[in-house]
Amino acid sequence: MRKVKTDIDYNAARIEYLDSLTQNPGVVSVLEFGEIEAPGLSDIDWLIIINDQKIKDSSFIFLNNETSNNTKNAFQHRPIVFPEKSVNNICEFFIPTKYKLQHGKDFDLLKDKSINPYLRDITVGYEFFKRQKNLLREPVYQKLTKKKQISLFVSIANHRNNSIFSGIKQLISYHSEIKTLRKDYFIKNILDTRLSNIRDMSIKTILLIEKYLDIELKKNFEKLPDLEIKKSRSVDYSENVTFNHRKKTLVKSLCLFPLLYRMKYNNYKSEFDYFPFKYSLVKQSRDILLQIGLKDGLIADLGFNNWFPTTIKERLYRIKMSLKHNF
């Protein structure tokens, strides 16, 4: 098994990156989510709140050749970037959790200010679930490094904090298994068979999550009028919850999510206006990121993968990789 770097100085990495970020007057706040529970496996997750009127370009956010390897190892991905003008609605994108203010103004994100916590929880659950189910498919999963595979398991275990899935008792034992795996990673010889077994457990868990989403949608949303269900070129919708390594599959009821998000927004006159309202928030954030030259860093994708324009070269590469994964 490939060795993972364990001697990361996370505090030094925070200081170095923060020193670079705070040179920009448009950086309003820097927030850190999660904890370094497994040094060497854990990375630092930051959310940057910006005043886009004070930012000319995105150069401030990139790690460059002068950045130390220590900091690059501590930050495995770029921070999420969110506009200050929408900060009153930021609680629509994550379930309140502990965070540390690393710089700037504190917006008290522990206080749940969601306009509809139930719909927030089900939309957050769906978005993470959809991404995770795809990553567990054999052709995609095998492309992940061991570190990324374990990060995927951790992400799935985090569903235990979502009220929609509170009835899934297996999430507790699953979380315990992943916690033990992370502790053992540097002190034991973790065999590929153990990771394979946990992946099998992850697939069973993700299918339980899909079942719960299916139940919620059938209970509350499936009888909505004027929603024309169309076939998707990227996803096969099935009558039952199933898993297919070759194709992206979702139970049929989940096709309501993209339809609900793209309903005509009616100034929040009904609870279903929550979906297009949330979609409009992501669209506004996307437009600001593009304005400053970023093509990633969105706080959410809502299950869509086409928020940013792609070049012909990028499209051809995606087609090539898709064919390689599936055939």
- pLDDT tens figures, 182-233: 888 877 777 788 899 999 999 999 999 999 999 999 888 766 655 556 667 7
> In this structure, are residues 159 and 131 in contact, taking their beta carbons and an 8 Å threshold?
no
**What is this structure's pTM?**
0.88
Contact 18, 103 (CB under 8 A): yes
pLDDT band at 309 (very low <50, low <70, confident <90, very high): confident
Question: With 70 as the cut, is the pLDDT of residue 312 above it?
Answer: no
CA distance 138 to 145: 13
Q: What average pLDDT does the chain have?
A: 88
pLDDT at 2 > cutoff 50: no
What pLDDT does residue 93 have? Answer: 96
Dihedral (CA of 276, 97, 172, 79) sign? positive
Which residues touch 58 (CB under 8 Å, ≥6 apart)? 289, 292, 293, 294
Say if residues 216 and 36 touch (Cβ distance below 8 Å).
Answer: no
The whole-number average pLDDT for the span 79-86 is 95
> pLDDT class for 56, splitting at 50, 70, 90?
confident
Question: For 90-126, how does the pLDDT look when each residue is reduced to its tens digit (9 = 90+)?
Answer: 999 999 888 999 999 999 988 899 999 999 999 999 9
Taking residue 117's Cβ as centre, other Cβ atoms within 10 Å add up to 15
pLDDT at 168 over 60: yes
Average pLDDT of 151-164?
Answer: 96
pLDDT at 1 over 50: no
Q: How many whole angstroms separate alpha carbon 235 and alpha carbon 244?
A: 11
Residue 323 has pLDDT above 80, yes or no: no
pLDDT band at 321 (very low <50, low <70, confident <90, very high): low
Element (H, E) at 140: helix 138-141
Q: How far is CA 254 from the centre of its chain?
A: 18
Structure tokens at 302: 């809502």
Beta-carbon neighbour count of residue 258 at 10 Å? 16
Torsion of CA 94, 302, 317, 308, to 10 degrees: -90
Higher pLDDT, 316 or 139: 139
Instruction: Assign 190 to helix, strand or coil.
Output: coil
pLDDT of residue 275: 93
β partners of residue 32: 46, 100
Please say if the pLDDT value at position 63 is more than 70. Answer: yes
pLDDT value of position 220: 86
pLDDT in tens, 233-282: 789 999 999 999 999 999 999 998 998 898 876 555 577 889 999 999 99
Q: Are 320 and 121 in contact, with CB atoms under 8 Å apart?
A: no
> What tokens were used for 74?
């501590």
* Residue 303 pLDDT > 80: yes
pLDDT of residue 320: 59
Give the SS3 label for residue 272.
helix
Answer with the residue of higher pLDDT: 145 or 313: 145
> What is the pLDDT confidence band of residue 313, given thresholds at 50, 70 and 90?
low
pLDDT at 25: 93
Is residue 317 scored above 60 in pLDDT? no
Q: Do the Cβ atoms of 69 and 8 come closer than 8 Å?
A: no
Share of the chain above pLDDT 90, in %: 64
